[in-house]
Amino acid sequence: MTEGAVLHIKGRILVGPDEVRDELWVLDGRVSYQRPAGARDVRTVTGWVLPGLVDAHCHVGLDEHGAVDEATSEKQALTDRQAGTLLIRDAGSAADTRWIDDREDLPKIIRAGRHIARTRRYIRNYAHEIEPGDLTAYVVREARRGDGWVKLVGDWIDRERGDLAACWPGDALAEAIAAAHAEGARVTAHCFAAESLPDLLAAGIDCVEHATGLTEELIPAFAERQVAIVPTLVNIATFPKLADGGEARFPAWAAHMRRLHERRYDTVGAAHEAGVPIYVGTDAGGSLAHGLVAAEVAELVKAGLSTTEALSAASWGARSWLGRPALAEGAPADLVVYAADPRADVRVLADPQLVVLRGKVTG
């Protein structure tokens, strides 16, 4: 006998890219496809349903100056939640956001710990800034503090060169990534340029953020080894402005950034055609606003993914990649309801009609 309140959703439940159901029940915070016996307090809504969306590159607890306070972190997480993002891979944060795990009304965060960067080779106040000899020790430390991920800064502007340059020698990367894997953690790396990618591949990197430097020569190896990329195209859109701001001091870097921006859709499209796994990430935090997941999905469609593939990159596929359930029987009821079919037009994602987190309708 069921006595508690029950949410009944009718319409089209997009359980997976090839599985659609007509109705779903939410009971005690869980998904069920069986009508609960004796249900009395039933609220019925209609629409198209997706699993809670995933932002696989997001920085809760961070702004352009570094770590932020809990009130600001809460506002960031709430903004993501109301956009339908209910699972976040926090790809590096200087703030301790563990307190969010105790909040039933905030998205689940999978943390990569704090960025690990070369000394004076990243944004001030963001990262542990170290030299190669310390890389393995810091990687092990962040692997133990994180939730199965570690974040490296693979390349950044070298002021002496005046352009992007790789941050780590290959032997240091190989040792550090092996140590992370021994701890049960996967490793991802911030990379704009092509130069840093061969050593990261050889060292066994699991994922690359931005990946604007992918080339025709490198893409087959990414595909063969199934090294994922999170393109963050809404962030790459800012490259021309960044180039304008830095051109006076670093003209070579500025020109390089513009080239990476100009070929961004071709780069992602070629990686997709080759079979490289691609996932949605916005790079929210830092200088970008939170809640941009719908815009990033639309950018992936522009780059050549089908609507279903782009949706998977933000839902079914991304959840599987991160080891989290979607809309399986008995799974936590994290879902988003839309007024129209997002498979027909992904712009629908920008206007969620109902967001349900852990079985509760958010407000």
Which pLDDT does position 5 carry in this prediction?
81
Query: In this model, does residue 1 exceed pLDDT 70?
Result: no
Q: What is the CATH number of domain 53-321?
A: 3.20.20.140
Alpha carbon of 230 to those of 101, 207, 236, 267: distances in Å? Answer: 24, 8, 11, 12
Q: Are strands 85-90 and 53-58 parallel, antiparallel or unpaired?
A: parallel
Q: What is the pTM of this model?
A: 0.96
* Mean pLDDT, range 154-168, rounded to an integer: 97
Show me where the domains of the chain are located.
Answer: 6-51+326-361, 53-321
* Mean pLDDT, range 322-334, rounded to an integer: 97
* Mean pLDDT, range 186-203, rounded to an integer: 98
Over residues 224-244, the pLDDT tens digits come to 999 999 999 999 999 999 999
> SS3 of 73, please?
helix
* Mean pLDDT, range 190-204, rounded to an integer: 98
Residue 237, exposed/middle/buried by CB under 10 A (0-12, 13-18, 19+)?
middle
Over residues 130-144, the pLDDT tens digits come to 999 999 999 999 999
Fold of 6-51+326-361: Urease, subunit C; domain 1 (2.30.40)
- Indicate the range of 4-8, 162-166, 183-187, 248-252 predicted with least confidence: 4-8
| Among 232, 234, 167, CA closest to 203 | 167
Q: Residue 124 is encoded by which pair of tokens? A: 């001030």
**Confidence category of residue 4, pLDDT binned at 50, 70, 90:** low
